[in-house]
Chain A
Amino acid sequence: MKIVLAGNSVRTGLIKSFFENEGFEVLLAGTPKEAKASSDGYPVIIVGSSVIPGFLIDDGYAQRVIAGLEPKAPAVMLLDRETETPSFIWDLVLKRAVGIAAGKRHVYVLARSVRTEFPGLERSYSKARAHGVTFIKYEKVSVVQNDAVSAVMIDDGVMTLEIETPLLVDCAYTEDRSVLEYAEALRLHTYDGGLINADRWFLSPGRTSRRGVYYIDAGLAMSAQLEKILLSIADEIRLMAEMDVGPAAKIDPRKCAFCYTCFRLCPHGALYPDDSAVSMSVRHNYCSGCGICVSACPANAIELTERSEASGKRQTDHSKGTVAFCCENSAAIAARTVLPDNCVNVIPIPCGGSIRASQIAAALREYERVIVAVCNDGACKHFDGNKLASRQVERIREELASINIDPQRIMYIQLSHAMPNVMHNMVDNERNRAL
């Protein structure tokens, strides 16, 4: 099986060996252009090399340093000095802080702001606090070096504090900017200087916004994390190869006006211009059947095939009243726990972004009320699907208002699969209104 390793990290060799040992044939792509060309059909692993302080990732080295310190002397870990510290570095910092504090040492973690998006980070903070780690949010900080001791002056905007410490860890992290060039070439979603994970429910390191495209930060090479990540990627690649997945989105080349709208909006980079068919085509490996392209296509040239079986069919069928278009990743699941005995008809959709204004308008001819229920901001599996839904709803409301139809006949709610109460309240209101 072929995979593509992209990037020019010094660790590429190490990672190449790993995959060869796992039985893959590894092709190298040294430039973003090569990566783009070779990504057609093969899984791609982008290897970046950010510079992470050894103290944070090399356990052995860290132990030696700590052992050599005066007992009881405090330690200071300094973050955000030049740039904001990303979540995964916070993860390393907190683990190390606990390690230092376990030696009955006072640890101060200085930062401008606190990050929490990384999985398990909240727990890590609590654990650190329990071990006596103090977090200080600063506005200005200055350091004066006196031999082996650093005098750290902290100004939090209200008062100043000075700490003397023999262990000042500068947790500055230098990210590999070349990774962003690869991200652009492979049309990956990026945010906050990092590559976003594909499946927001299961935020696992290594995944990116595109299926079959992975990202490894070789700066983590010295930590145990790396091998775990590589193994999980290898497993997933093998699994994907074994799955026989037909295309979820299908394009009618006779209708396609080749306007590139679906290409631009597809969150998974699954669409590509096919010269031989003179229309846009779908790479079935990458298509997740979200239906955003279906909604976006101005020529109505795309449809979802049977892979997303649940979509489009009504789960329950009560006459008149209310219909709810529910995102199958959140609302549809929540609906199952509350709705069987209610007067709301549920239509699951693969993603909020797949809803079309014409669907809503058509539904209004049959039902008194239409609910569009999608995921919370930041939780959409397809990134901005919920926002696309919101804009469609806004637009159709404006059209309705212009012909004197109550725009509030369409309700828009956001919830997660674990928030059935939102659904419940909405439905209760509907029931009371119907009475």
Chain B
Amino acid sequence: MIVAERKPLNDIIQMVRPYKKLLIAACGTCVTVCMAGGEKEALELSSLLGLADGLEDKEIIVRTIQRQCDREFILESDEDIRAADAVISMGCGAGVQFIAELYPSKRIIPALNTKFIGVNRDVGYWTEMCQGCGNCLLDRTAGICPVSRCSKSIFNGPCGGSSGGRCEIDPDLECAWQLIYERLKVQDRLDTLTETIPPRDWSSNRDGGPRRVRKSSVSPEVGK
């Protein structure tokens, strides 16, 4: 799922200063699960903003939007959004933008920094797994992605900086190629490593421009 983290309080405070009536819009899906922008975090933000210097006169309400990436859910809070001077969205970058699109004259403020697509390793701990490169080659690398999990996105790794199974830039980071090697060994597929993977076609990644996916069987002919 999408993993995000709340911005430092001061950054949010700077952005909301000019506005009196604030709506904090929590999101009930990904950011709830990664404990960044769910209802609990929204209530906490509301209390903390109320304590901040110079913000005592603000009127702050909290609403939870089930999912900020589907229009219908946002519209459920239509009245509250219209009534607010500014909306602090605790959704991921997609959610923030979607609300902004539906209410173009309203100031929408992002409360989170969206980080990555990842998995939950333990309570309160998530790690990056996928970068959305658009051209999955996980079968060649024993299910470990070199694009997202190797610091240099090397396809024929590891680099000379891999040591003790750790990445040179951070001893707490495991070298993805070490992991790939170990797993290929377990699967008895080390011969895969002797094949050189040729240069990547990055056009399927964001390098090729912002992407769209359309399910032709159901998507309207022309449309939003």
Chain A contact residues, CB within 8 Å of chain B:
255, 257, 259, 261, 264-265, 297-301, 356-358, 361-362, 364-365, 399-400, 402-405
Contacts and interface: CB of A to CB of B under 8 A. Distances in A.
Given A255-B39, A264-B123, A402-B9, 14 more contacts: A259-B33, A259-B120, A298-B33, A298-B35, A298-B39, A356-B40, A358-B44, A358-B46, A361-B51, A364-B47, A399-B9, A400-B48, A403-B52, A403-B53
Contacts of A403: 9-10, 13, 48, 51-53
Contacts of A300: 38-40, 43
A257 B50 contact: no
A364 B51 contact: yes
7 contacts: A259-B120, A261-B35, A261-B123, A264-B123, A300-B40, A361-B47, A399-B48
A224 B41 CA distance: 54
Nearest to A404: B53
A298 B9 CA distance: 19
Contacts of B41: 298
A300 B33 CA distance: 11
Contacts of B10: 402-403
Given A261-B123, A265-B123, A358 B38 contact: no
Most buried by B among A255, A257, A301: A257
B32 A299 contact: yes
Contact of A259 (B13, B32, B51): B32
Sorted from nearest, which 5 A-B pairs have the closest CB atoms?
A: A361-B47, A300-B39, A298-B38, A358-B44, A259-B33
B89 interface: no
Nearest to A359: B47
A298 B50 contact: no
A31 B41 CA distance: 42
Interface residues of B, number: 25
B53 to A, nearest CB: 7
Given A257-B29, A298-B35, A405-B51, A357 B9 contact: no
Interface of B is mostly: helix
Interface of B: 8-10, 13, 28-29, 32-33, 35, 38-41, 43-44, 46-48, 50-53, 64, 120, 123
A357 B51 contact: no
Contacts of B123: 261, 264-265
A297 to B, nearest CB: 7
Most buried by B among A297, A362, A365, A403: A403
B122 to A, nearest CB: 8
Contacts of A299: 28, 32, 38-40, 64
B33 A257 contact: yes
Contacts of B32: 257, 259, 298-299
B48 A361 contact: yes
Given A259-B33, A402-B9, A403-B9, A365 B40 contact: no
A365 B51 contact: yes
A349 B29 CA distance: 29
A399 B48 CA distance: 8
A424 to B, nearest CB: 29
Most buried by B among A265, A364, A365, A399: A399
A399 B39 CA distance: 18
Contacts of B120: 259
A255 B28 contact: yes
Contacts of B29: 257
A70 to B, nearest CB: 60
A255 B33 contact: no
A399 B46 CA distance: 13
Contacts of A405: 51-52
A269 to B, nearest CB: 15
B40 A297 contact: yes
Nearest to A297: B40
A264 to B, nearest CB: 5
A365 B64 contact: no
Contacts of A365: 47, 50-51
